[in-house]
Structure 1
């Protein structure tokens, strides 16, 4: 294209206000749409050369192809006022060569139609309904004559008619041929509408069914993790059918549709839609776009894509579109790296040789071939008959056309044309054999009528030239397999389609798709495997959270909750770890929890153990001091027996926490609470007995008979066994109904399973604590009443304070205990046991030890008599 915007083919690209381009023919007053392709001015010889290609034979086969289109440069009053231009359809031309090749191959084959030669009539049809029907009438009535219901043919009538790739063409022709019961074979892709025998009873489709095409395309998307894909389809029944199939497959495989552009099946109405669709493609975040069933209606959007060089998109294309020739070439090929689904077919080895040898010198009747030679190899017509070519490039062949304009191997349409010819030939062969069976001695020439061919076409089961079994019956057709091709554009602009994989729907599940990923060249805008997603993948440790009002592929990534993991990409839900495991920091793996308990090796366990042993040793020392000074007044005044019982009990109270430390077992779990309850009951009952004795000794001025009997008979000594017995009954009920047992706590401490002793009945546990607190409260009350007695050797104040400490410890213990978990609960109970025991030891015995050890002059009977009134002597000597 030059600076003025005029390209080398003789038409301009008009730049409009909508920032888009459209073709404009030179000399036209107004821009008009024109298809993309090679445009060549038509000379007088060219016009004469553009005629129907014909070859004589005993039996004729006709075919309709869109080999070229001619366009008028200026039109006034429906008349062409200026020269015409030609647009060659090289892909269709290759199909016509396959048609000729098949007929020649059959004529050489002595096993098919011996003694019968096949001829052909090859018609060019343009992309309009009038021209299609006109050429069909030419076939029915006779070449050059267009009279309905009349034929000038006397012999060599066409046994069948082959129609092209567009379903509309086959449908229009089919409705006409149905009137005459005329066999029609279509070599386009299989169409469900055309398989309706009610409408098209004379029509047969050669192509295999595309039943699993949608499945193959979606499997390809899943293979590359493309979950955000745009769709561009023709707005007709084929587009609706493929859209329905694609949506179903995409939903099943969790692939989302980014947008759907339905282009009207009308060249005039599709222009504006192509521009709006082009904008949709540009603004969409989808990097992968599927284009299906490309017809002339989609050429507008293809032109927009080419002009704007959208090189950052990956196109998935159905091979019905000739991307190598129908798209103009620009500096950056927007379709480089495209993936093409082509129906797999057998290779016809001799076809390449046929094309290489197909030249004007060997096929002078092919006028299209002469025009191609003139266009590409600088030839010119000479002579008045416009048949001779001069000044041609030496050794020129179709293989030398620039940019691989003509494929040397059969395309899927060419292969279908080839099979269609073979289907007619084999049907004719079967019909001839049947006629010979009926008339074994008949020497008359067999007169073939086209309607007689239908029974054989319906049941035909034949091998083509490649040895492949073929059928025409739509009910017996096999599903197509596909070759996946990658469009390469080399630096010199040479487009090639390279096979990079296959899709076989009949293969075992999971093995349908085979791809050589390393062979794929992606679009220019990508340096690595393209990504096409609405949202980036959620890495392990996160889960997907759908975005409201958007497709399922659009989501946010949310961190997994505590102790839940996601160990794969894009998980919808996090998975909770089992109780024996915990989530790691990244929350993508469950780790085995370590078993733990309040052990002697832990710092806390060691500290509590040392405290328990230390205080028990200290209590033993205090006991030793009292035993050594048992003859002193202060020891005698505090009731030696109760003092010894209390100190011995406190020694065991300090050792009791050792049952709480270490690996729990059934024995220790049972002994922990019962031992603690009984020991503290003995200790508190001893304190209560001492308190009652002090009160009786100092508060009763004139003791009655009962009080005197209590003092003389020492009935206070029964306080300890009675109180202990009550506690034993409570513990017995506890152990018999719901005893403590070994339990595990897997939730309190992250990464650990804590082995603890479950107390069983919480009611029994709190009842035991309530009983101890009631005894402490009773001792506190009795001691409080005697708080104003003489100070010397008086325990009332010390007992009052010790019970206050004891009561405070265990009242504080309850809320703190229930607010802690795991081994800290155990440590809290141990600490409370030690604190309350220290309170008893310190408050009651530390003042006495201080006098015994450091103030011995106060520990004499004279000092006591001077300080204690006579009414207290009974208590002091008790």
Structure 2
């Protein structure tokens, strides 16, 4: 293996192996070899790391790596010489404020006699510009205790690292590089902004800590907001790095099973973010998703919003991650005002640092001649040149031990040649900008906490366990601050638990701190500008949100709707569309007998047997009891038919009674005729028993009345037929005694005999297994059919069979008498009536069996009325016609003539 392979870039998998070999090979030859390679590598990469160091040397110096500039330089690759990095530009005011928060915290700790008494704490801060090679070089420079550009050899040759821990890692990737690089040396790394969930793995990153919650909690919070506001169709624009990919993964895990779907996921790359922003803006414009989740850096978001503003897309609701939810650059950009209005975001927990505002306002370049970062900020803020001051400062630096590169100095002051000189009376008091805004400190407060965590860990490590030591002894430590063991410092850092100056309890849970966020909303001010408003907080996974104070992208308090398919209303169920996400579905109405009483039901619920669905299929209601009643149309028609039959029969009875001495009445056996009219009246009346609510007695009475009245009626016809046949047979020679067997007594006896058989059958049937009222639930409908259930079908069949037997016998006898004299046509009429009777009851059987519910009762009533009317009309209508309209034919001569 060549020595050069040891110096692979930090993103290489071999980077951790570098320090392993460094720790193992501490011999002189290895050092000499590495020294030569180091010099070659630094020359090849052109590493320039700016240093911020206003403090004096202390007993313990903590390191800081900050991404103070955001405009990444290009790499000079002309392929005729080794690549060279140009200096970074674009000072990040928010990160600069975090740097001063670190200085402020160190000074505050040094003034506090309860923390590290007798030990002076100091700091050394480097700008890594977010470039991975610079991050690695800065880590070596801090841990090695050297101030030159490339100091890896110093790490090997020094007696021990002068910086026991590093506060840094503005991004998750940077934090990974630092943790993996310094893990072999057990140097703790405390990050103030690295939020990747992967960094919580103590096996992979045993020396990593952070004062910002893991993105898992942020993603879960945003998922819960989506669920809370019923946003089921969400688009996502995410950074194409660990921050974006792992955050969206946590978001998807949280929404799983909640009915929330991602309409699309678009990635933005840092190198091609302008092109990616145009593509993402086009997708957002044409998507049906009205809520867009954005996990990326605020400068990418600004470019995306500019592209949306060009397309006039102003009706999207944006969910912001903490990386841009508090960005003043976007808030103050007038070009994207309409697009950004109403943003709802999760922000880093904010807090105040007492005295920090006064500290910032008191900063002046004249008081800090070596502070190049303040000088750069000062020139940009007041638009004046500090070139003379810088020259003087540089001269002072050359005569002192402060290490500031002149080349770097020149690049930090591009305005010096074009702007007028500063007057020296400029001050930050009264200036309102990102740098001086201390109302809601986020990254700065995280840095502040990181310094305090480091100080308390050092305090615990250096504190003397001897309780008998005199309190007057200023030296209250047993371990030397100049000989700090990183392994032990790691152990004390894991056990850190203290109360911050703000009164909050602080401790680490592995690498993390308990989750805490602010919920913010971008509201439109009366002057038309956007302002950041705190609308809630998140503690752990508990949301504390004031929903009524939210201003949405529509400018109102109405929650936006973002769904692929509108929620199915009650009475319907969801049916997923084939090949589409579960959020896209159709609404299918519930079938009769099934209900869904909730919005968005996945299935319909069948009603209990005693219930049925209402017209909207939203609730189960008790089934209505259904039976053939007197109030409904069918009942009224049948009742009218039965009553009419009774009336007609009564009229005929009266006519026969009035003309009982006429030949027509007497020739037709007036006694049997009156009995037949009475039985027909009973037949019509028994039909009324079938109408109305079934009861125990009505069920028994209707079948008994039906069976007995019809047997009585058919028996009368049968006896009349027999009498007719006997009368004509007796006229033959030798048959004179035939009529004595069919006298009035025998006729009455025969009718009673035939009827008594039916009475016996009905008595046995009703005694053993009578019909009973029954609620028929088998018929699926909104009604329960209340009917008289035949407990014994055999009994009913015997009753009908006996009636059918008598009817067939009567029809046969009437058929035999069909050739009687025309003027005496009683047998002919009986034949016609029995044909109608038999036809009706033959058709009744299949119609009765196939008719559901109350319609079977109606069929039976219709059969009763039809057969009764057939008998009444066929037998008595011709006689009444002669009696009333042809009285001249109502004579004995007419009846006896052929």
SS in structure 2 of the partner of residue 790 of structure 1 = coil
SS in structure 2 of the partner of residue 332 of structure 1 = helix
Q: Identify the residue that residue 538 of structure 1 maps to in structure 2.
A: 568
Where in structure 2 are the equivalents of 1:591-610 lying within 5 Å?
Answer: 591=621, 594-595=624-625, 597-602=627-632, 604-610=634-640
Q: Identify the residue that residue 800 of structure 1 maps to in structure 2.
A: 831
Measured after TM superposition, the shift of residue 49 of structure 1 is: 13
Q: Quick one: structure 1 residues 669 and 859, their matched pair in 2 at CA, closer, same or farther if it must change by over 3 Å?
A: same
Q: Identify the residue that residue 115 of structure 1 maps to in structure 2.
A: 118
Choose the corresponding residue for 1:280, options 279, 283, 286.
Answer: 283
Give, in whole Å, the separation in 1 of the partners of 2:49 and 2:834. Answer: 127
Task: Kindly indicate whether residue 175 of structure 2 is the aligned counterpart of residue 170 of structure 1.
Answer: yes
Give, in whole Å, the separation in 1 of the partners of 2:638 and 2:186. Answer: 107
Q: Which runs of 5+ in 1 are unaligned?
A: 1-46, 507-511, 868-878
1:531-550 alpha-carbon deviations (Å, 9 max, x no partner): 11111222333322211111
Task: Kindly indicate whether residue 867 of structure 2 is the aligned counterpart of residue 836 of structure 1.
Answer: yes
Choose the corresponding residue for 2:146, options 122, 142, 147.
Answer: 142
Task: Kindly indicate whether residue 571 of structure 2 is the aligned counterpart of residue 571 of structure 1.
Answer: no
Give, in whole Å, the separation in 1 of the partners of 2:223 and 2:392. Answer: 52
Where in structure 2 are the equivalents of 1:482-501 lying within 5 Å?
Answer: 482-488=517-523, 490=525, 494-501=529-536
Give, in whole Å, the separation in 2 of the partners of 1:582 and 1:857. Answer: 67
Where in structure 2 are the equivalents of 1:164-203 lying within 5 Å?
Answer: 164-203=169-208
SS in structure 1 of the partner of residue 857 of structure 2 = helix
Q: Identify the residue that residue 32 of structure 1 maps to in structure 2.
A: none
Measured after TM superposition, the shift of residue 74 of structure 1 is: 10
Q: Identify the residue that residue 335 of structure 2 maps to in structure 1.
A: 331
SS in structure 2 of the partner of residue 849 of structure 1 = helix
Give, in whole Å, the separation in 2 of the partners of 1:154 and 1:249. Answer: 50
Q: Identify the residue that residue 25 of structure 2 maps to in structure 1.
A: none
Name the count of aligned residue pairs: 812
Task: Kindly indicate whether residue 790 of structure 2 is the aligned counterpart of residue 787 of structure 1.
Answer: no
Measured after TM superposition, the shift of residue 67 of structure 1 is: 0.8
> Quick check: 2:357–2:436 contact (8 Å CA) kept in 1?
no
Measured after TM superposition, the shift of residue 175 of structure 1 is: 2.8
Give, in whole Å, the separation in 2 of the partners of 1:675 and 1:155. Answer: 118
> Quick check: 1:141–1:148 contact (8 Å CA) kept in 2?
no
> Quick check: 1:232–1:263 contact (8 Å CA) kept in 2?
yes
Q: Identify the residue that residue 30 of structure 2 maps to in structure 1.
A: none
Q: Identify the residue that residue 100 of structure 2 maps to in structure 1.
A: 97
Task: Kindly indicate whether residue 711 of structure 2 is the aligned counterpart of residue 681 of structure 1.
Answer: yes
SS in structure 2 of the partner of residue 427 of structure 1 = helix
Measured after TM superposition, the shift of residue 61 of structure 1 is: 1.6
Q: Identify the residue that residue 159 of structure 1 maps to in structure 2.
A: 164
SS in structure 2 of the partner of residue 320 of structure 1 = coil
Measured after TM superposition, the shift of residue 446 of structure 1 is: 3.7
Measured after TM superposition, the shift of residue 226 of structure 1 is: 0.3
Where in structure 2 are the equivalents of 1:514-533 lying within 5 Å?
Answer: 514-523=544-553, 528-533=558-563
Q: Identify the residue that residue 126 of structure 1 maps to in structure 2.
A: 129
SS in structure 2 of the partner of residue 682 of structure 1 = helix
> Quick check: 2:464–2:479 contact (8 Å CA) kept in 1?
no
> Quick check: 1:234–1:298 contact (8 Å CA) kept in 2?
no
RMSD: 4.0
Give, in whole Å, the separation in 1 of the partners of 2:563 and 2:459. Answer: 56
Measured after TM superposition, the shift of residue 722 of structure 1 is: 4.2
Give, in whole Å, the separation in 2 of the partners of 1:272 and 1:706. Answer: 126
> Quick check: 1:314–1:337 contact (8 Å CA) kept in 2?
yes
Measured after TM superposition, the shift of residue 375 of structure 1 is: 1.0
Task: Kindly indicate whether residue 675 of structure 2 is the aligned counterpart of residue 645 of structure 1.
Answer: yes
Task: Kindly indicate whether residue 59 of structure 2 is the aligned counterpart of residue 54 of structure 1.
Answer: no
Q: Quick one: structure 1 residues 846 and 502, their matched pair in 2 at CA, closer, same or farther if it must change by over 3 Å?
A: same
Give, in whole Å, the separation in 2 of the partners of 1:445 and 1:834. Answer: 118
Q: Identify the residue that residue 20 of structure 1 maps to in structure 2.
A: none
Q: Identify the residue that residue 482 of structure 2 maps to in structure 1.
A: 448
Give, in whole Å, the separation in 2 of the partners of 1:155 and 1:671. Answer: 114
1:19-68 alpha-carbon deviations (Å, 9 max, x no partner): xxxxxxxxxxxxxxxxxxxxxxxxxxxx9996433311332221000111
Q: Quick one: structure 1 residues 665 and 715, their matched pair in 2 at CA, closer, same or farther if it must change by over 3 Å?
A: same
> Quick check: 2:197–2:216 contact (8 Å CA) kept in 1?
no
Measured after TM superposition, the shift of residue 769 of structure 1 is: 3.2
Q: Identify the residue that residue 261 of structure 1 maps to in structure 2.
A: 266
Measured after TM superposition, the shift of residue 752 of structure 1 is: 5.0
1:595-639 alpha-carbon deviations (Å, 9 max, x no partner): 454444445544544543443244234334434444443333323
1:98-145 alpha-carbon deviations (Å, 9 max, x no partner): 212211221222221233332211111122221112222221232225
Give, in whole Å, the separation in 1 of the partners of 2:643 and 2:443. Answer: 98
> Quick check: 2:88–2:129 contact (8 Å CA) kept in 1?
no
Give, in whole Å, the separation in 2 of the partners of 1:610 and 1:303. Answer: 84
1:392-428 alpha-carbon deviations (Å, 9 max, x no partner): 69664287355x4764245443222111111121122
Q: Identify the residue that residue 694 of structure 1 maps to in structure 2.
A: 724
Give, in whole Å, the separation in 2 of the partners of 1:459 and 1:131. Answer: 31
TM-score for the superposition, normalised by structure 1: 0.82
SS in structure 2 of the partner of residue 549 of structure 1 = coil
Give, in whole Å, the separation in 1 of the partners of 2:857 and 2:128. Answer: 96
Q: Quick one: structure 1 residues 306 and 401, their matched pair in 2 at CA, closer, same or farther if it must change by over 3 Å?
A: farther
Q: Identify the residue that residue 14 of structure 2 maps to in structure 1.
A: none
Choose the corresponding residue for 1:467, options 485, 488, 503.
Answer: 503
Q: Which runs of 5+ in 2 are unaligned?
A: 1-46, 394-419
Q: Quick one: structure 1 residues 473 and 580, their matched pair in 2 at CA, closer, same or farther if it must change by over 3 Å?
A: closer
> Quick check: 1:541–1:588 contact (8 Å CA) kept in 2?
yes
